[in-house]
Structures are given as structure tokens and as C-alpha cells.
Structure 1
Amino acid sequence: MSTFSTLGINNGLIKGLSELGIFEPTEIQERAIPELLKLDNDFVGQAQTGTGKTAAFGLPMLQLVNSNSDKVQGLILAPTRELCQQIAKQLFKFTKYSDKVFVESVYGGAPIGDQMKRLERPTQIIVATPGRLIDLLNKKVISLAHVRFVALDEADEMLSMGFKDDMFRILDEIGESRNIWLFSATMPDGIHQIIKKFLKPEALRVQVSRSAGVNENITHEYLICKSSDKTHELLHFLAYHQDQRGMIFCQTKKAAQVLTKKLKAKNLSVDVIEGDMGQRDRDKVMRMFKSGKIDLLVATDIAARGIDVKHLNFVVHYQLPQQIEYYTHRSGRTGRAGEKGSSVLLVTEKEKEKVFELAKTLKFKARPLN
């Protein structure tokens, strides 16, 4: 088993990791970190959520940037504000005992003026959603001229959320002498286009097997019921798991709002996060959920990107995901960091075939819920 030291990580960062209880690298970290530290190639890593991707690209970036320079040298693109906040917070914790590297996160849904003011300070690494970064580039607040390291996190999600043109423009803005590190759970056509256009032909490609990631710790179960009975079946499931915490996914904002009202009417400890909410309200709900003040979170797929909450016992798919990749991200909220988790699909008789299609495509076993 490798250690972070044998992978090439310096002692200051290792001390920061140890304080966070991180002592042994995951497979994606073990395979990515030595390659990213070499400075001579691009990298493509296919790995599920919850496998330690942030440290896989974050530690090399922190170690390689020049903390004495006030130029932006590292750029991390991520699909949502929650994921941007999470990445920036984690990088900050990693550097507790290292030369200070300043990391700033910028994302939509928050006042751009406040972010522009923070960017007046020396910043070595920017974590950004593509849309907000484009806004800041248009205002000439940020220069990417000195960027040497680019990490694309959950690249497939950025594409599915409509950021393809923004990603292409951003990568076009960055000079030739840079390394691009692309991480994605799936490899749709758009990802192959990015690889072909922007990455070196000899870019190293690594795929972490599902058995090495989060999925081996998740059981996948389905319950067949009428659409009109879904709420009743959900309440029955929650009553049986009343001492546990989890997330419930809906396809639409309206469905998430309606379901949350029904669950609150049953005096359940629940709240909702969806795309129409303001940033302050979203942050408030997430603080309550992470701190354990509420046990259940109803969410839409887009709103839930990047949510990382420890010790979630289950995920319930109240409505099936609209895209196959969404199932990977939904189920990946549970079973993290070696813990066990359960992914439960509530489906009608007509939807049963879609469950088998998901299971076949994503290579998991789906069994009826007892």
C-alpha cells in the first residue's frame, strides 16, 4: 500500500491530511498524484463520486503552484456552487501546515461584486463554475494568462448542465503551456470532444473500477407501486428507517416542493434544496442538514450536485433520474468513504424496465425491496 509520502506529497500537506484523519490514499489518488506531479502530461481520470478525486488533483495543484507569486496559476472548474465551496474548503484544510496558498471560489447565485472584491487579493487557485468564470472574464476581473494547471471536476455534469460552450471558451483562453486534468464519472461524446481538442494525444488515462469506488458499498433495491401510492410507500420506508438519515430525489422543482410539504405535514425532520432557492436559503438548509438538525433532504438533481454529507444511510429515488448519469451521482451521496449505503427506487410497473436498464448499463445488481 502506498502512502502520500511515497506518492510525492510534501510533509506539510501530509500533516494537514493526518489531522483530517486521511492516512492512506484511495486508488484514484494513488494512480493520479504521481502523474500529476510530473508536469509533463495531461490526465484523464474516470472515477465515481466519493472516491477521493478532490485530493487526487487538489494536492498536486497545491504543491505545484508558487505561493510567492500573486498570479492565478491553478484553475478548478466544477458544475455547481456547492461543489466549488466544498473543494475550496477542503484545499484550505489541506494547507494548514504548508506554505499559504490562497484559494478563492466563484460561482453563480451569489453577488458578483463581493467575489470581484475578494479577487483583488493575491489568489493562486480559483475554483469556479464555468458560467460565473465567463462573467468575470468578460468584466476583465480575472486573467488566465498565468494558469499552468487546470482541473475539470465532474466534467460530464458540466456538459449535461449546458456548460460546453463556456468550457471550450475558458480552455481556449489558457495558454499552451498548461496541464489539463480531467475527472469524470462517465465519458459521453462531449468529453471525448474536449479530450481531442484540448488534451495532448499522449494524455494518461486511468479508470478506477467500480469495485474500488463507492458502489461496492451500496445496495440497490426497487419497490414497485402505483404513482398514487408513492408517498405512502415512502412514508412506510422512512418509518422503518426512522433513526437514519438520507436524501430523496425528485425530477422537478415542483415535485420536490410538493413532496417536502407532505413530509413536513407528517412531522418529519425534512427540508428541500432546489434551483429556485436563493443562495442564502440554500446555505441555511445545507448547514442544518450537515449539522444533523434535519435528517432528510429532498432535492432535485441539479441542486444536489456537489453535496457531500457524511453518514447518509440511504438515497431514495422518488422519481427516476432523467439521465443515466444522474443515477450515479444520486446514489453516490451515500456509501461514501467506506461506509455502507442503500439506494432505493420507487417505480411503477411501467418504469420497472428502466431500473433493469440502469442496472445493466451501470453494472449493479437491483433487487426487490423486501
Structure 2
Amino acid sequence: MNQKQYDVIVIGAGAAGMMCAIEAGYRGLNVLLLDHAPKPGAKIRISGGGKCNFTNRNVEPKHFICSNPHFVKSALARYQPDAFIERVERHAIAYEERDKGQLFTLDGAGQLVAMFRTELDWAGVELQLNCFVSNVQKGSDQWQLITSNGSLQSQKLVVATGGLSYPKLRASDFGMQLAQQFGLAVMPSRPGLVPLVMPARQQAWWSELSGLSLRVIASTARGPEFDGAMLITHQGLSGPSILQASNYWFAGEAIRLNLLPQIKGIAGWLQELKQQAQPLSTVLKQYWPKRFVQAWQDKFGFDDDLANYSQIRLDALAEQLTAWSLYPEDTAGYAKAEVSLGGVATDEVSSKTMESLKVPGLYFIGEVLDVTGHLGGFNFQWAWASAHACAQSL
């Protein structure tokens, strides 16, 4: 059986794993990058509708969910978006900036994967795909891995196996199981940046409106507000504002929608419409799709003539328009989730090196950690930054 010695073995050839292996290789280390998938960078290839939102110009710690909000600060400060943008430009990859600082490739995410493949070669990293790890043990001074490609040994072991989102891409909880094997705490995993499913008894109403989009502010009891598009699906709600809010939603809780974020001072606005005798449905069609206006009118039976409204009824309408509370039944699950929340507890890991505080020589980077970014390129920036921080300490 093959037995080979490396300075570093990185398990997981996704965004964080490739980045870490490259940076470690550039430092002169003998690096093996392995993955059980047949191709590297599977999540990069499909993200952003195939265009990959690879970073954001405006990255701050507030854009991340973590039980320790200070954990992300060190890595993010030491590898900022400009550093990755420079890398992309060095490979002549065209990109565009969209809303709120989001950067996407112009000609497809495959170019980013090709960039990483090129740099893996430049850095002298050995890449083994279709390689399954069946056992990991730590000796006094080295790691021993039993794999489908034989027995492998290394001084350092980096776990970059991601989370549970996109099971079709062979996502697994391998990294979290490995952490638990060596006595590290793991925060429970759940789908993140995921559509929300409404109760079955309500789905006929939503299904009739499927495909419609409108601007809302979505929020939950425990998270910030997110202003953006809401997309109605056959089962419930999706779109950027809903995906963002889903990170903070738990079963049994409400999601609150402001359906008129364009209007500041809704009570005064309604009073003005009342005085002007403007039909409410006519005005709402300036902000909502026509079918949504009609469905809303049918569902709640509002009177088009605001002259018929008492002050109490007008106040209730204002509340309904700006703080509509809905109670989803569930999320659409890992198959539709862009990320998974939870993972290896950050209290177990050095924020400067990503090394386990309990097990010397064991490192965790990227999504396998209990760090989840908002929508908009933040999760990829965490992959690059945590990988870079780790590689500098190997």
C-alpha cells in the first residue's frame, strides 16, 4: 500500500481548501490537497448562477454570523477583498460590480476554478481527487490518514470540507465528525441562505402568485432588517431579502415583511391618500405587481376608498402594509440552501491561525467553521481569508 509523507494535507478541494493549499505551497511546503469529489471547486462552479459572487468590496465583521462576533476580525483584516481582486486581475478574469459591492465573473465561474488549478500547479501542490478518507489518527508527531489511495502521513492537517448545503455536490459532515473525534465542540448545523416554505394550507395562495417579485424589508425577531427583492415561489418565499432573513429564522417564529419600504412615514402617506381620494389599489400598483395587488385585496378585503376608513382601521392597515407577520412552516432544506449554519465552534480554534486550541497541528477553515456570511460574496471572502490566515501559520 502506498505510504507518502507530506508537510501538510488539506482535506477538501473547495474554495478554502484550494486557497490554503496554494498559499502553503508558495511558502515551500510539500502539500497534498485531496477530495472525494471528481472535480475541485464544485460550489464555485454553480454559485451566483454560474457567475460566482467571489467577494464584496465592503466586507465587515457585521456581515457574518458567529457565536463569537470577534472571531472573524483577525483573518478578514489580514486578507482583504482587494487582495483577491488583484489575484483575479492577474489571471485576466473579467468581472463586474453589481448592487452593494458584489463582484461577479463576467464569463463564468469556471474561470476561477481554472485560476486555482493553474496556481495549484505553480505552487507545486499535489491534487488527488476521488480520494476517500476512511480513518484519521494522530501520532506523537504526525497525522496518519487511511484513504482509498493508500496510507498518507503529514505533519499538519487542514480540514476544509465545508458544510451540508448542496448535497448533490457531495457535501458531507466529515469535517464536523472529525472535530468531534478529537474532542472539539460542534455547533448544530442548519440550512442557511435558504427559501422559506409556507404551511400547506396556505400554499395554494402563494402558488397562484409564483414568479412575482417585489421589494420588501424582511426581518425576524433576532436579526437585522434586509432590504431587497422578495420572490414568491410555489411553496413560499425566496429572493435576496428572504434568503438573508432565513439565517436568523427558527421554526415557530415569524418573519416580518415591510411591503412598502419605499414609503417613509406610512401613516402620514395613507392620510394623504385619504384626503386626495385616491384608490388604494391604483397607488399600490406603482409598487407591487398587479396580480399581487389583486390577491392582497381579495385576501384582506381592503376598501379601495380610504374615506371609509376610521383612524383605527387606517392604523391597522399601516401595520399590515409595513409589518406583515408570516409564520413559515420550514426551510426548503440543504438542497436549496446556499450555505449551512453551525459547524466547528470558534471557541475551539485560534482566530489568528485557525489551529485547534486542543489538538496541535489540526486546522479548520471555511464553511466547516461556525461562521456564516450574509449573501453578497461574504462567504467566499471568509473562505479566502481563513485559508490565508491558516496557510501563513503552517
For the aligned pair, the TM-score class normalised by the smaller chain equals under 0.3
- Larger Cα Rg: Structure 1 or Structure 2? 2
Q: TM-score, length-normalised on structure 2? A: 0.26
Relative to its length, the structure with more helix (as a share) is: 1
Q: TM-score, length-normalised on structure 1? A: 0.27
